[in-house]
Amino acid sequence: MNLGHIDPALLLAALLVAATPILLAAIGELVVERAGVLNLGVEGMMITGAICGFAAAVETGSPGLGFLAAAGGGAVLALLFAGLTQFALANQVASGLALTLFGLGLSSLLGQGYVGIKPPPTPHLDLGPLGDLPFFGTVLFSHDIVVYLGLALVVAVWAGLKYTRSGRILRAVGENHDAAHALGYKVVRVRILAILFGGACAGLGGAYVSLVRVPQWTEGMTAGAGWIALALVVFASWRAGRVVLGAWLFGGVSVLQLNLQAAGVAIPVEYLSMSPYLITILVLVIMSANRSRAPGSLGRVFHASG
């Protein structure tokens, strides 16, 4: 065993990177669920974003445009879900599952010509002297812009839901859509916008995997990250701050367990391997033991009557 081989600064830096895809997808899904819609298609939207972003970045040579296309691709797929659930009033669980299957198939079709190609590198944000700080420079100020964007998005969602008028309307729609409708709020419109936002976020998360974290295109490459994001929202009891904590915990323990293995720590590998799931769930469940409550209208079909 040699723990000295693990550099804590590099480990923490890797944590931020590993957490970013699920953080992005989870914060989008949080908004969707706070609006009272359960979209189980996160995995499908992520993988679609991964290939849309990858293809756009390769074709244009610009990772920025790639991320934009990824958000667009995820949102377009989400639009399909919105149409099914908000206009055709289809069952949300079934539609969401179908969306995941569809997204996986669509992405492998779109990705046919992109296997084995390298994307243009996403540059690290140059933060000048901050990047040269010992320890903190590596941990906090050596990342690409999407890492910071993800965190900014979380703050924006938190503040938006808590303090802005539109955030409160969104929550009202999610808590009790009949009451919100009676007050004159456009339930369907609010929900469609939330679903699109969720799709765009999931798309960004997917593109972060294909453009930065791996970086390459492989079929099925998100490998379940969307489902983890979904679980994270529930275990974080629909709170933005806890989603960040959950994503960091999950990303952090995932990276840590690999590092511990490489360092030859004498903990059985099976335990290390399951630790990210176990620890994340445990911590979040304990934290939200007393106040865990889903939005009142979550997953229920809204039909404006009377």
- Characterize 111-125 residue by residue with b for buried, 16 or more Cβ atoms within 10 angstroms of its Cβ, and e for exposed: beebeeeebbebeee
199 vs 226, beta carbon nearer another protein: 226
The nearer residue to another protein, 159 or 223, going by C-beta atoms, is 223
Q: 């991964």: which residue's tokens? A: 50
Give the nearer residue to another protein in terms of CB position, either 46 or 180. Answer: 46
Q: Distance (Å, rounded) from C-alpha 162 to C-alpha 33? A: 15
User: Closest approach of Cβ 21 to another protein, in Å?
Assistant: 7
Closest contact distance (angstroms) between CB of 122 and another protein is 11
Least separation in angstroms between CB 218 and another protein: 5
Of 86 and 259, the one with the shorter C-beta distance to another protein is: 259
Closer residue to another protein, CB minimum distance, 224 or 241 = 224
Shortest separation between residue 56's beta carbon and another protein, angstroms: 19
Shortest spacing between CB 39 and another protein, in angstroms: 22
Per CB under 8 A, residues contacting another protein are 5-7, 10-11, 14, 18, 21, 108, 111-112, 115-118, 121, 209, 213-216, 218-225, 254-255, 258-259, 261-264, 266, 268-270, 273
Kindly tell me which of 91 and 216 has the beta carbon lying closer to another protein. 216
CB of 73 to another protein, least distance (A): 18
Select 126 or 270, whichever has its Cβ closest to another protein: 270
By C-beta, is 3 or 93 nearer to another protein? Answer: 3
Secondary structure, 3-state, the chain: CCHHHCCHHHHHHHHHHHHHHHHHHHHHHHHHHHCCCCCCCHHHHHHHHHHHHHHHHHHHCCHHHHHHHHHHHHHHHHHHHHHHHHHCCCCHHHHHHHHHHHHHHHHHHHHHHHCCCCCCCCCECCCHHHHHCCCHHHHHCCCEHHHHHHHHHHHHHHHHHHHCHHHHHHHHHHHCHHHHHHCCCCHHHHHHHHHHHHHHHHHHHHHHHHHHHCCCCCCCCCCCHHHHHHHHHHHCCCCHHHHHHHHHHHHHHHHHHHHHHHHCCCCCHHHHHHHHHHHHHHHHHHHCCCCCCCCCCCCCCCCCCC
- Note whether 86 and 300 are within 8 A (CB): no
CB of 78 to another protein, least distance (A): 22
Least distance to another protein, CB of residue 244, Å: 19
